[in-house]
Each structure stands twice: as structure tokens, then as C-alpha cells.
Amino acid sequence: MVKKNIKKNIKNTTEKANTSKKLANKPKSTSIKKPKRSVQIRLIGTSHIAKQSIEEVKTNINKFKPDIVAVELDKGRLQALLTKQKSKTPFWLIFRIGVVGYVFAKLGSWGSKKLGKVVGVEPGEEMLTAIKLARQKNIKLALIDQPIEITLRRFSAKITFREKLRFIGDIFKSIIFRKKAAEELGIDINNFDLSKVPSNELIKKLVKVMKGKYPNAYSVLVDERNKVMAFNLLNLAKKYDNILAVVGAGHLEGMKVEMDKMAKNKNK
């Protein structure tokens, strides 16, 4: 009789435990599901010497009212831009970034400054405008580009001898046969307006030409940086709802593709 009572008590206890477990797992009727956040990332493709880009930055900051402004800069280039030292590349930097990266930085600085004088705009003025407006309006600022030293060091390491020769040849060709070189790229130098951002069609063509003629240079200067900036923007999207990104027009399409890929991989 005692044994039967023990068995019966064990059975009752087990049934109560199972019932308690079911109740514990059952969702409470008072639980509230949080609505999904709506995040908007707006990208502006700019030309670093175009007056049009400066106006677009002003318009978008005033109308879009972003929570944060992201710019295609790193700490080094930001400091250079703010102190007006962007055209100076110290000689000692050659030991960090390599000869090729150093020469490329000097040529790039010289070329952008020369073109900037034609239109009366300092290279990078649209970035500086974004920074100043963000400060005036107490909007947070994010630097989303890869450090320039890393980019130039990788450029020195990856560019091939064939690309170097091709690059030198293209420089001489653009100087001696400027009109012909421009026409091969679909540019009419007599009607080309440096104060405006090139059309999407022309940008895509120039990117395609660069990718074909200088695959390693393209990989480092464009593709790798697209990935870095896309990744950094998606990280910002975890915290901010309205993000305005100011990047060079040549990065625009590539960054969109990378962000779509990263978002899809995340949802898998």
C-alpha cells in the first residue's frame, strides 16, 4: 500500500512539473513586439573640385537632416584638409607607403590642385563643407574610408610593372594628345564642365576603363575601399536611422552593390 502511494505521488509530481514547464514556455499575453527600425542611408556621389557637389552637400544636409554625416576620409586626410596641408606629402612617408604609392600621391595631389584652380575650387571642398555644416548643426561626423597609408602601401605592393608602364604612357599621351585621349574616354574637352559632377554614364565608363587597364590599381583604390566604406556604413546603421554619406562619384555604384551583398549575407 505504501509503495502504491509513493508511485502515485511521483506520478502526480511529474505531471505538475510538466504542467509548470508548459506554462513557463507559453508566451505571455502582455508581451510587446518592438517594431523594426526604419534606416535610411543616402549617398551623394561627388567630384572633389565641382561647385555642384558643394551645393548638393548643403542641400542634402539641410533637407535630409541626417543623424550623422559620413565622409570619404580617414583621420590623416581630415587633419590635412582642416589645416590646409593636403598638397604636402612628406618625403619620410616613402618608407611607409613605398615609392610607387608616394609618387602616385604626389601626382594625384598635383593634378587635383591644378584642375581645382581652373574652376576656382580647392580639392576636397565638398568634404570640408560637409564637416563644417555638421559641426554648425551639432550633427555627428563619421570617417568611413580606409587610412590613406594602408591604401598607398597596398598600391605600391600590388601594382604590376605592366600597369606602371601603361600609366606612364597614358600620362604622356594625355599631355601630348590630350584631345584624342579624352575622346577615347568619351569626353569632349571643349564642352566638358569641371564645375559639375560627370554623368553616371561617363563615370561607369571611366571605372570600366580603369578596371580593364589597371586591374590591380582598381582593386586597391576602388574595390577594396568600397568594401571598407560599405561595411562602416552598415555598422553606423545599427545605431543611426538617417545617414548621409558623402563619397566620390566613382565609389557610388560599387558601394551600393557591396552594401546589398553584406545585407543579404547577414539575413541568411
Dump pLDDT digits (tens) for 243-252.
999 999 999 9
Phi/psi of residue 153, nearest 5 degrees: -65, -40
Give the start-to-end residue ranges of the domains of the chain.
37-267
DSSP code of residue 74: -
The pLDDT confidence band at residue 224, using thresholds 50, 70 and 90, is very high
Alpha-carbon Rg for the chain, nearest whole angstrom, is 28
Residue bearing cell 616613402? 94
Q: All 3 cell numbers of residue 159?
A: 601594382
The pLDDT mean for the chain works out to 80
Long-range contacts of the stretch 115-124 (C-beta < 8 A, 24+): 115/49, 115/194, 116/49, 118/194, 119/49, 119/50, 119/51, 119/194, 119/195, 121/49, 121/50, 121/51, 121/54, 121/195, 122/49, 123/48, 123/49, 123/86, 124/48, 124/77, 124/81, 124/86
Output 23 or 222, whichever has higher pLDDT: 222
Note the pLDDT tens digit of each residue in 83-141. Answer: 875 445 566 566 666 667 667 766 676 667 666 666 677 888 999 999 999 999 999 99
- Asked if residues 223 and 254 have their Cβ atoms less than 8 Å apart, the reply is yes
The mean-pLDDT minimum among 54-68, 107-121, 126-140, 198-212 falls in 107-121
**What's the CA gap between 265 and 5, in Å, rounded?**
59
Percent of the chain with pLDDT over 70: 74
Q: All 3 cell numbers of residue 147?
A: 587610412
**What's the CA gap between 266 and 206, in Å, rounded?**
32
Chain centroid, CA 66 distance in Å: 17
The pLDDT confidence band at residue 22, using thresholds 50, 70 and 90, is very low
Phi/psi of residue 58, nearest 5 degrees: -60, -45
Amino acid at 7: K
- Asked if residues 248 and 72 have their Cβ atoms less than 8 Å apart, the reply is yes
